[in-house]
């Protein structure tokens, strides 16, 4: 897929949330890259950046052929702290640049009252500096909904390249997607499998069976056809490979629409009520 600054971003991305640091993570990243994933997504708070870096190095694929994303954790919001946090992330990854750096969660009014928007604006200024200095190629947001995005855009010199949000059938995120489309912000999906809870769904299994595919593959394909970039996590080689095999079939318009009618369901926190 293409970002608003001209860079390309490969889909699907390989997720590492909850992937334990150490051998499990190193092996998962190596396995993913051997499978063909070139986009790896991590975050400071996942605690596995060192292992992601090691997996990348052990893959034998040159760094510049890969697309690496990390995220600024909530305790580091603000201008100077953001600059320092990015430095630490690069150190832990053992890399000298990131392809994409995201603000992991917006400061919200529940925690920060009327200061919330100003904190996000300040943090965004630091992200812009990192992009200007080419420490990171692209900068973006995560878990920002329209009420968080709008104040950032008012004073932004760089429009965020990406907004990474929870997205899957049952959580269609129509308002956020509409705003992102209007502004040229690519939407990425975390938990595109509904953290596994959608995998037994009879409709998804039945549609998958028509193509000889699993419900997981149907969910990832559904994201791609909606032009949302899925980030999919697994620590199992077989599933890592299964989740990459999503380009040999196409869901019909009717199938796409029927999947969108699955009942409402949110797995993770809402950014307005998150207290972490």
Q: Could you list the residues that contact ligand A2P (CB under 6 A)? A: 15, 191-196, 199, 214, 216, 232-236, 239, 242-243
HEC per residue, 99-115: EEEEECCCCCHHHHHHH
Nearer to ligand A2P, 53 or 192 (CB): 192
Judge whether 46 counts as a catalytic residue: yes
CB of 47 to ligand A2P, least distance (A): 16
Tell me 43's DSSP state. Answer: -
CB of 165 to ligand A2P, least distance (A): 13
- The contacts of residue 194 (CB under 8 Å, 6+ apart) are 168, 169, 170, 219, 265, 267
Nearer to ligand A2P, 159 or 199 (CB): 199
Single out the residue of 156, 89, 166 nearest to residue 123, CA to CA. 156
Cα dihedral 247, 222, 188, 200, rounded to 10, equals: -110
CA distances from 142 to 31, 117, 166, 181 (A): 26, 15, 9, 15
Nearer to ligand A2P, 210 or 236 (CB): 236
Nearer to ligand A2P, 19 or 82 (CB): 19
**How many whole angstroms separate alpha carbon 221 and alpha carbon 264?**
20
**How many whole angstroms separate alpha carbon 128 and alpha carbon 112?**
23
Residue with tokens 């010199």: 157
CB 229 within 8 A of CB 9: yes
Q: Which of 37, 46, 145, 167 is catalytic?
A: 46
- The contacts of residue 60 (CB under 8 Å, 6+ apart) are none
CB of 195 to ligand A2P, least distance (A): 4
Nearer to ligand A2P, 183 or 239 (CB): 239
CB of 151 to ligand A2P, least distance (A): 29
CB of 60 to ligand A2P, least distance (A): 23
- Continuous segment of H or E residues that includes residue 154: helix 146-155
Tell me 4's DSSP state. Answer: T
Catalytic residue numbers, as ranges: 46
């Amino acid at each position: 897929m293409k970002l608003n600054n001209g860079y390309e971003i490969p889909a699907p991305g390989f997720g590492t949330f909850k992937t334990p640091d150490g051998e499990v993570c190193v092996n998962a990243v190596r396995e993913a890259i051997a499978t063909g994933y070139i986009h790896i997504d991590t975050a400071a708070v996942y605690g596995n950046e060192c292992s992601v870096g090691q997996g990348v190095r052990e893959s034998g694929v040159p760094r510049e052929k890969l697309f690496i994303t990390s995220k600024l954790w909530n305790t580091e919001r603000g201008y100077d702290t953001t600059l320092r946090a990015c430095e630490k992330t690069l150190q832990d990854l053992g890399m000298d640049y990131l392809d994409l750096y995201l603000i992991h969660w917006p400061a919200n009014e529940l925690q920060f009252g009327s200061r919330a928007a100003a904190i996000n604006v300040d943090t965004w200024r630091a992200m812009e500096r990192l992009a200007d200095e080419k420490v990171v190629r692209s900068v973006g947001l995560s878990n920002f909904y329209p009420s968080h995005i709008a104040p950032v855009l008012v004073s932004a010199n760089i429009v965020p390249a990406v907004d990474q949000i929870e997205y899957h059938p049952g959580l269609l995120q129509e308002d956020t997607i509409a705003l992102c489309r209007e502004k040229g912000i690519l939407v990425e999906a975390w938990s595109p499998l509904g953290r596994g809870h959608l995998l037994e769904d009879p409709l998804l299994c039945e549609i998958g069976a028509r193509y000889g595919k699993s419900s997981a593959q149907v969910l990832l394909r559904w994201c791609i056809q909606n032009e949302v970039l899925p980030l999919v996590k697994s620590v199992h080689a077989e599933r890592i490979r299964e989740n990459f095999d999503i380009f040999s079939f196409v869901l019909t318009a009717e199938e796409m629409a029927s999947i969108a009618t699955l009942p409402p369901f949110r797995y993770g926190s809402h950014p307005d009520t998150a207290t972490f």
